[in-house]
Structure 1
Amino acid sequence: MSKSEVEKNLLNIDMKALIPLISKEFKKYFTKNIKALYHYTNLEGAQGIISDKTFWASHIKFMNDSKEYSHGLEVCESIVQKLIQELPLENPRRAYLEEVFTILEEQDTDIFVVSFCESGDLLSQWRGYSRSQHGISIGFDFSSLFDVSFHLSEENFFPRKVIYDHKLQERIIRRIINVSLISLELSEVKPQFSPKEVARTIGYFLPLFKHATFSEEKEWRIIVTNSRSMSYQHELKFRARDNIILPYIELETHNKVLQNDNRLPVNQIIIGPSGTNEFTARSINYYLKNVGYPTVPIKLSHIPYR
């Protein structure tokens, strides 16, 4: 890359922080205007979210689709290794990229995820997340959901759309790498973005990459990272689930719309396929009326119970 090309590229880059930069450039792919997002859980989970105004972000390695993180790593490995092989051994960019990939493979970052879906009555989600015949889908008003801060330390977390398009996944990884190489090219002492920050940025976006075969899920995710190298450590908690002890982090919410009395923007509850739907609905209706949600409609899944 010539100096003029570097300077031309730099005009379009705000060299402050890599994650916000990439998020801004690809914003239209990570969000869109929809009416609602749905969170699938069971009765116990739904009660905890509504009563405590808290979501549990589960460790990605222990989720139902934990293998999907390896999909993102494979996409990244293919791109980085190809770039490395194209560079001469003595080229500083080669050593820089090799360090990025080494850190990415060995980094101590734990990744936690809260999942949402654009559909509130989807069979694959009932099977994967409700974990019992008493599955619950909590519908949240989309625009209001972004008035809610998921607050940890001094950071806010919002749902981002999962990327299923393989070519777009590659574009995002290539952009991260290109920006980092530009910073290396322009540096006189050290690059604007260290290999550790580049690896952390790639690692941040990888949980938003899933194989195209899962696209019917229309999933959104809140991503939270925890690393021993971070100045702030989110409190790690554990709970038993089926045959594992699941690590998780609590995301407490705070509604910035004061007239809502800090209530979550719940716009409906959908009860999953079950032989006791109507009885369950009566109990949920009574519960909601007594915890400040008297007008939230309750619907039954249209999927036949088996």
Structure 2
Amino acid sequence: MDFRDMMAEKYLNEEKKECTLYHYTNIYGLEGILDNREFWVSHSDFLNDKTELKYTLEICESLLQDKLKYNELKDKILDKFDTVLKLMNDHLIYILSLSNNGDSNLLWSNYSNNDGYNIAFSFRAIIDDFEFNQSYSDYYLYHSSVIYEKEHQIKAISEVIDYFIELAEKDILFDRINDDYIVGVADIIRTIQLFSIFFKDNCFSQEEEYRIAIVPYLSKKIQYDCRISNGTFIPFIKLGFHKNRVKGITIGPKNNMDITLEGLVQFLNLHEYNHISKDSIRYSCIPYRY
């Protein structure tokens, strides 16, 4: 087990029991996901919130400054960390976002304009599907509840910074190329990048987000496609799932016409989701006056 996997196992909150998680989307997303029985999982650099890596790096820098307060090698170690920061640009991770909340006012607004849908999935069953995906040999798969607690984040990142300081001090005293430092820094970069996917500011805690992260092997070139959104090409990869992983669907709070339910039933029958009865389809309980 490498350093990143060890830290992931220690500090991420991986769901180990069978449960239900929800994916919010608009009607076009619903159609594509259920028709093709696959997710289009976007490259992390193209997600709405571009501050996540910055948020984690700010914790790293704050901890590093604090830990080096009385260290005679402070300036040299900080120079080395500046080099590490410049190597953070290659952030090759694909992210699928789900939620523990099946009827969230915030998520209806953010991801489906209040008139979309959410799909209830059987979890961990979809993880099994992703792990047996045809291209699974090309990537690592991590999943966890997003962690909003600052104390937990600091504890995890503090361990990474301690490891970096130890490596940097040894390298400064070395008079030749230090292979251990090179390998260790690569591990640290991958670990910080991974934590940046699962660590978010507490102001986002209402999302109750659960994330699946796909990290390509360094030696592999993962196959991806591009979709168009708001005039931009968005790289994504496809992850297929078995139709029986879908447990139900919730219709958004503004989408309350009778024909919405009937149309959805017809769509599900057309695509052979026969296991989803009308009882598995519900309307959001959030009241809207318009």
Partner of residue 149, structure 1:
130
- Cα contact 1:18–1:176 (8 A) shared by 2: no
State the SS of the aligned residue for 1:149.
helix
Q: Is 1:218 the counterpart of 2:203 in the alignment?
A: no
So what's the TM-score if we normalise by structure 1?
0.78
Q: 3-state DSSP class of the match of 2:193?
A: helix
Compared with structure 1, are the counterparts of its residues 237 and 289 closer, same or farther at alpha carbon in structure 2 (3 Å cutoff)?
A: same
Which residue is 1:167 aligned to?
151
Given that 1:75 and 1:170 are in contact with CA atoms closer than 8 Å, whether structure 2 keeps it comes out as yes
How many percent of aligned residue pairs carry the same amino acid? 27
Are the aligned partners of 1:54 and 1:250 in contact in 2 as well (CA < 8 Å)? no
Residue in 1 that maps onto 2:2: 17
1:289 matches 2:274: no
| Per-residue deviation, 1:224 | 3.0
Is the Cα contact below 8 Å between 1:50 and 1:264 reproduced in 2?
Answer: no
- Note the residue ranges of structure 1 that are not aligned, 5 or more in a row: 1-15, 255-261
Report the AA paired with residue 59 of structure 1.
H
Taking the TM superposition and a 5 Å limit, the aligned residue runs for 1:1-306 are 16-27=1-12, 29-31=13-15, 33=17, 35-89=19-73, 97-104=81-88, 107-130=89-112, 132-150=113-131, 151=133, 152-154=135-137, 155-180=139-164, 190-191=179-180, 193-225=183-215, 230-241=218-229, 243-253=230-240, 262-296=242-276, 297-305=280-288, 306=290
Using the size of structure 2 for normalisation, the TM-score is 0.82
SS at the partner of 2:103?
A: coil
Q: Cα gap change, 1:97/1:66 in structure 2, threshold over 3 Å: closer, same or farther?
A: closer
Aligned equivalents of 1:253, 1:236: Cα separation in 2: 14
1:277–1:178 Cα change, 3 Å: farther
- Structure 2: how far apart are the matches of 1:233 and 1:47? 29
Q: Deviations over 1:217-247 (max 9, x none)?
A: 11011223469xx322233433232x34141
Indicate the SS of the match to 2:179: coil
Q: What is the SS of the residue equivalent to 1:164?
A: coil
**Cα deviation, residue 182, structure 1:** 5.6
Count of aligned residue pairs for this structure pair:
277
Task: Find the residue that maps to 2:243 and give its secondary structure.
Answer: coil
Farther-moved stretch of structure 1 (188-197 vs 164-173): 188-197
**Aligned equivalents of 1:103 and 1:82: distance in 2?**
23
Judged with a 3 Å threshold, the aligned counterparts in structure 2 of structure 1 residues 240 and 133 are, in CA distance, closer, same or farther, namely farther
Q: Contact 2:16–2:124 at 8 Å: present in 1 too?
A: no
Query: Aligned-residue CA RMSD in angstroms?
Result: 3.0
Counterparts in 2 of 1:84 and 1:249: CA distance versus 1, 3 Å: farther
Measured in 2, the distance between the counterparts of 1:149 and 1:129 equals 23
What letter corresponds to residue 22 of structure 1 in structure 2? M
State whether residues 238 and 245 of structure 1, in contact with CA within 8 Å, keep that contact through their aligned partners in structure 2.
no
Please give the per-residue CA displacement for 1:68-104, whole angstroms capped at 9, x wherever unaligned. Answer: 4422222222123433554323898666545433423
Residue type matched to 2:90 in 1? D
Q: Which runs of 5+ in 2 are unaligned?
A: none
